[in-house]
Amino acid sequence: MSAMQRETVGPSYATGPEGEVLLARPDTPSTVPPDLTPPARRRSTDARVPVQARSSDRQRTMVDAAARLLLAEGFPAVTHRRVARAAQVPQGSASYYFPSSSALVTAAVAAAEDLRGTAATEKAAGLARRDRSTTTTARLLIETFYAPSVDDQVVDVRLDPVLTAMRDPALRPILRASRPRLLAALRTVLEACGYEHVTDVDLLGHFIDAALLSAAADGTQDVLDRATGTTARLLEHWR
């Protein structure tokens, strides 16, 4: 090998037992400095965390919007277009996270029942403890059972969707899982109003639904007042 060739050949190094570079061998020409640059690190997955967080936030926003639409207007309002508009996201995002209408409705029902349970618990817990009339207590029971808000459209907007969901095998477990929390809120209302001796809260829940359905079936515009009066009559039997 010529001298010119030897000058272009990189230096030879001795290595330790772990492959570490030791010293250049003195008998080897070294005209090119050793490249001791550490190997490039693998790209950190931390960079994906903000993207994932934004994705989760967007999905939660859409679920919350779907739940509030369901509580305010019933099932007809839970569409990809309406949910995207309410959540202020592109409609394509709603279709991406919820590929089918059933997936969107299932998420909406679960979130709506969670909102309902939380609102019912808070309303019941906020009542001052004092004896109340059967009429006042009955109204509080209805308002708590259908929290966060209720009006004379409660059957069309709230109760009918619940009954529809109970007939759907995919949605029925969600409603069943939510019921104990709602009944616990009714129990709290009874105790706050001087009816702690009433023990069959499950029966009371069914009675409230029946009273609302009966009032709506009569064609009256005063559904809440009529259902309140019917429920108050039941409470009279428990005095």
Q: Which residues pair with 21 in a beta bridge?
A: 15
Neighbours of 132 (CB within 10 A): 19
Alpha helix ranges (H) inside the chain = 3-7, 49-73, 80-87, 91-97, 101-125, 134-145, 154, 160-166, 172-192, 201-217, 223-237
Please tell me the distance from the alpha carbon of residue 208 to that of residue 224, in angstroms, as a whole number: 10
Neighbours of 101 (CB within 10 A): 12
- pLDDT, position 52: 74
Read off the tokens for 44.
Answer: 């950190």
- pLDDT, position 160: 96
- pLDDT, position 172: 98
Domains, the chain, with CATH or none: 55-237 (1.10.357.10)
User: Quick check: 23 pLDDT over 50?
Assistant: no
Confidence of residue 220 (pLDDT cuts 50, 70, 90): confident
Of the candidates 178, 153, 175, the residue with the CA atom closest to the CA atom of residue 165:
175
Of the candidates 147, 63, 144, 149, the residue with the CA atom closest to the CA atom of residue 111:
63
Please write the tens of the pLDDT for every residue from 44-96: 555 555 667 788 899 999 999 999 999 999 999 999 999 999 999 999 999 99
In angstroms, how far is CA 216 from the centroid of its own chain? Answer: 31
User: Quick check: 29 pLDDT over 60?
Assistant: no
Please tell me the distance from the alpha carbon of residue 96 to that of residue 47, in angstroms, as a whole number: 22
* End-to-end CA gap in the chain: 113
**What is the three-state SS of 119-186?**
HHHHHHHCCCCCCCCHHHHHHHHHHHHCCCCCCCCHHHHHHHHHHHHHCCCCCHHHHHHHHHHHHHHH
